[in-house]
Amino acid sequence: MKTSIYKIAVILMLIVFLSITMLGCSKGENYQRTAFFMDTKIDIAVYGTNKKQADAVIEAVFAEMQQLENIFSRHISGSDVNRINEAAGRTPVKVKPETIIVTRKALEIAELSGGAFDPTVGPLLELWGWGTEKPRVPSAEEINKVLPLVNYKAVEIDEANATIFLTKPGMKIDLGGIAKGFIVDQGQEIAKQFSVKALFINAGGDISITGSKPSGEKWRVAIQAPRDPQNWAAVLELEEGSVATSGDYERFFEEGGEVFHHILDPKRGVPGGDVSSVTIVAPDTLISDALSTAVFVRGKEKGMQLLESLQGIEGIIIDKDGEIYISSGLGDKIKIL
């Protein structure tokens, strides 16, 4: 068995062309810093302020993001998600308001996508060994045994009492496909407390941009060619917004001469989709994060149908042959390379 170095693949998933040494910008107009948490690389760039204030912005954003990771990670003992999973089938668990918000949105997107996105996919992820050093291909018998535990409709949220309950023993939620987007959005909310012209956050490919470059140029986001990590398939030009990509090249392993990626179809319990990557452009990162997974699992035709039904949300689908499909609202915002 061969496991990919998937952390690097995730970091390379989207590269943003930031004109860090922009012509015409005075010294000190942009500051950058990098950290590593949420099992990925986090890049922040602040524009249009001085170093002291930029440092304050970045410290506040990182602190908020790390605090939220401690709430949402199912791998952290005592986190809200960890406690919900431990109490599955036994008792509702009192959680923080942020957990109610994200879980509610996860269930809404699960319903919207017809179950292609499902936050209760945790037992399948564990069965396949994702999140460990040794992922594996489970047997059909093992998958069939776990599938009854994957059902977003068996999640009960009591907002009045601030509790979440998984009604079946053995159920486990995993908010990894949506919480990172929410965490990035909350970082932007913290930054609004400071007077900066623009803030860019890239959390392992979940990208959020607010404000304009001092140069007046648009932000340029390059989408990786799935089968050629050294080249780009397309470039987006945005004034602001959020971008997220799900791809079969992010996390994968080889076994028995076959390649298996981490984006599982919740209904079948195996890697889903007939595409190689999906990039979503949306007003907020929570939506782009979750929908990139949902559209990937739905596949080329049903995924594009979903995109075309959603107002203010656009997407790019790259199939396994390298063909690129673009939703109708992107227009002149994208250049195919």
Q: What is the CATH number of the domain that holds 302?
A: 3.10.520.10
Query: Where do the DSSP E strands lie in the chain?
Result: 2-3, 14-17, 30-37, 40-47, 93-94, 155-158, 163-166, 198-203, 206-211, 219-225, 228-238, 241-247, 252-255, 258-261, 275-282, 314-319, 324-326, 334-336
Q: What pLDDT is recorded for position 20? A: 30
Q: How far apart are CA 211 and CA 221, in angstroms?
A: 15
pLDDT of the residue at 331: 85
Closest CA to 125 of 172, 186, 181: 172
Which residue, chain included where needed, has tokens 């977003």? 152
Domains in the chain: how many in total?
1
Chain centroid to CA 278: how far?
11
- What does the pLDDT read at residue 273? 78
At residue 15, the pLDDT reads: 42
Sequential pLDDT tens for the chain (337 residues): 333 333 333 333 344 433 332 323 334 478 999 999 998 999 999 998 899 999 999 999 999 999 999 999 999 999 999 999 999 999 999 999 999 999 999 999 999 999 999 999 999 999 999 988 899 999 999 999 999 999 999 999 999 999 999 999 999 999 999 999 999 999 999 999 998 889 999 998 899 999 988 788 889 999 999 988 788 999 999 999 999 999 998 888 899 888 899 999 999 999 987 999 999 999 999 999 999 999 999 999 999 999 999 999 999 999 999 999 999 999 889 999 8
DSSP state, residue 218: P
Identify the pLDDT of residue 12.
37
Distance of CA 243 to the CA centre of its chain: 9
Residue 41 belongs to domain spanning: 1-337
Question: What's the pLDDT at 25?
Answer: 37
Q: How far apart are CA 278 and CA 295, in angstroms?
A: 7
Give the pLDDT score at 6: 32
The whole-angstrom separation of Cα 58 and Cα 30 is 12
Q: How far is Cα 279 from Cα 123, in angstroms, rounded to an integer?
A: 26
Q: Is 100 in contact with 89 (CB distance < 8 Å)? A: no
